[in-house]
Amino acid sequence: MSLRVHKIKSQEFVGKEVTIRGWVHRLRKQKENSFILVRDDRGGVIQCVLPTEKASSLTVESSVEITGSVSQDSRAPEGGFEIKGKDIKIYNVAGADYPIGEFQSDELLLDKRHLTLRTRRMIAIAKIRATVLDLGRRWFIDNGWIEVTAPTIVKGAVEGGSTLFKLKYFDDEAYLSQSAQLYLEAMIFSLGPVWSLTPSFRAEKSRTVRHLAEFSHLEAEAPWVTLEDILKVQEQLVSYVIRTIVRDRAEELAYLKRDVSDLKQVEPPFERMPYEKAIDILRSRGVMVIEEYGSSREIRSGDDLSIDSERELTKDAERPMFVVGYPMAVKPFYVKEDGERKGVGLAADMLAPRGFGEITSGGLREDNIVSMTERIKSEGLNPAAYDWYLDLRRYGSVPHGGFGLGIERLLRWITNVEDIKDTVLFPRTMSRVAP
Ligand code: AMO
């Protein structure tokens, strides 16, 4: 039986015979002996020493099974354990033109993503990602929220028509879902607090380091809540994920050279910064807004917060913050207006510190049928496409709210990687749909 590398790197195996399976990660052939760094299928690596005559055909990424005895040698890389190989079975001799080496352009690494996934950097990120998904799920289950699955082929826009992916649907037309929110809203009437993890699709035409065309969307919705309730859910969820990932993925975060001192400070409550205060701060720092036709002017009340504004607001922060009370004009049709402040939406975004910016968006939903119908029309949407959604306001409407969290945005902050494309195994962007 073959063993995983992390298991045999311990005193208990020294002197014992073991078999491991994996791929040749690095290779140094000398006259008598060859030094083979073998990577197993969980990314663990160990040096194996074999007589060169048995390893002569090996190349980087050849798949092998090696049997030998474990010994301890401080010169051995990756922890001082190695295997003195006796037998080797070669499953496949990899082509000598394996394209991934030490110095490659980002584009080549993306073109060859199916192979780049074998790098230890990507293995570390993939493991952190898996644990983040696991922790998100665990938090909702532990707190009594019910998991639901919404369709990803839909008829209506949620987050504006400009980023919709259109598709032919038999003889009709449909879209790829931008958010499960409207469906989650339908589910709270029979299931109470619900959550889902589904892919969301956005035809984002801008190339930025924080936008994907397909991302993993963790969304939640609950009846009878206030805005403050929704903020509390988000800060507890995010704090739990951060606290646990720092503990459970310490090795991978260290491999990525992520200094986790700031992550260790993440705990509720997060600052609630009124939108108007955010604008005052940005004005005092001279933040400019680029207008559609290219000219720039000083930011002012009523403007949405751009990537640059969010970076400016959070660059010196160590903990996430909420910006609360965005103008209705910059938020989608479903946002509920503050009854005491006309034009102000009961909506908030969570911004990650150190310049990372928005990772969640949420708030209360308009629950009045008349106001909702007006908003749908004034945004140029077709009320017929939302008739089922309006039913939720016709039959037993209740105050409710929720939020959406972009898993890749959260991962970008946790791993401190610059480009969001590195937080997903096969990224989709405007210029990339393969592999
Ligand atoms: P919003 O459009 O702000 O709101 O999206 C919610 C969160 O999803 C993430 N996100 C993205 N991540 C990667 N690439 C993208 N192109 C992208 N677009 C969004 C962000 C963002 O905060 N239904 C509402 C939320 C709600 O009110 O419940 C919505 O989808 O982390």
Domain boundaries, the chain: 5-92, 113-423
Higher confidence at residue 223 or residue 101?
Answer: 223
**Structural tokens at position 430:** 């405007």
Q: What is the pLDDT of residue 157?
A: 83
C-alpha distance from residue 136 to each of 49, 61, 195, 256, 410 (Å) = 42, 34, 10, 22, 11
Pocket test for ligand 1, best of 400, 409, 412, 424 (most atoms within 8 A of CB): 409
Is the CB–ligand 1 distance for residue 323 below 6 Å? no
Decide yes or no: CATH 3.90.1150.10 for domain 5-92: no
Ligand 1 atom closest to Cα of residue 360: 22
Lowest average pLDDT, out of 190-199, 266-275, 283-292, 357-366, goes to 283-292
Q: Distance, CA 54 to ligand 1 centroid (Å)? A: 54
Q: What is the pLDDT of residue 292?
A: 78
Confidence of residue 383 (pLDDT cuts 50, 70, 90): confident
Q: What is the pLDDT of residue 160?
A: 81
Is pLDDT of 385 > 90? no
Q: Distance, CA 234 to ligand 1 centroid (Å)? A: 14
Is the CB–ligand 1 distance for residue 408 below 6 Å? yes
Number of other CB atoms surrounding residue 141 within 10 Å: 12
List helix spans (H) across 112-178: 113-116, 120-142
Q: What is the pLDDT of residue 161?
A: 81
Is the CB–ligand 1 distance for residue 211 below 6 Å? yes
Please name the residue whose Cα sits nearest to atom 3 of ligand 1. 361
The pTM assigned to this predicted structure is 0.96
Pocket test for ligand 1, best of 215, 351, 410 (most atoms within 8 A of CB): 215
- Give the containing element (helix H, strand E) for 349: strand 347-352
**Structural tokens at position 244:** 């646990």
Give SS3 for 93. Answer: coil
Give SS3 for 13. Answer: helix
Is the CB–ligand 1 distance for residue 157 below 6 Å? no
Average pLDDT over residues 353-380: 96
Q: Do domains 5-92 and 113-423 have the same CATH topology?
A: no
Tell me the CATH number of domain 113-423, given options 3.40.50.2020, 1.10.357.140, 3.30.930.10, 3.40.50.1460. Answer: 3.30.930.10
Q: Distance, CA 369 to ligand 1 centroid (Å)? A: 25
- DSSP bridge partners of 218: 197, 405
Portion of the chain with pLDDT greater than 90, in percent:
92
Q: Distance, CA 107 to ligand 1 centroid (Å)? A: 26
Is pLDDT of 51 > 90? yes
Please name the residue whose Cα sits nearest to atom 17 of ligand 1. 211
Confidence of residue 255 (pLDDT cuts 50, 70, 90): very high
* Phi, psi dihedral angles at 98 (to 5 degrees): -50, 120
Q: Distance, CA 346 to ligand 1 centroid (Å)? A: 17
User: Rounded to whole angstroms, how far apart are CA atoms 77 and 81?
Assistant: 8
What tens digit of pLDDT does each residue of 400-411 get? 999 999 999 999
User: Rounded to whole angstroms, how far apart are CA atoms 201 and 216?
Assistant: 9
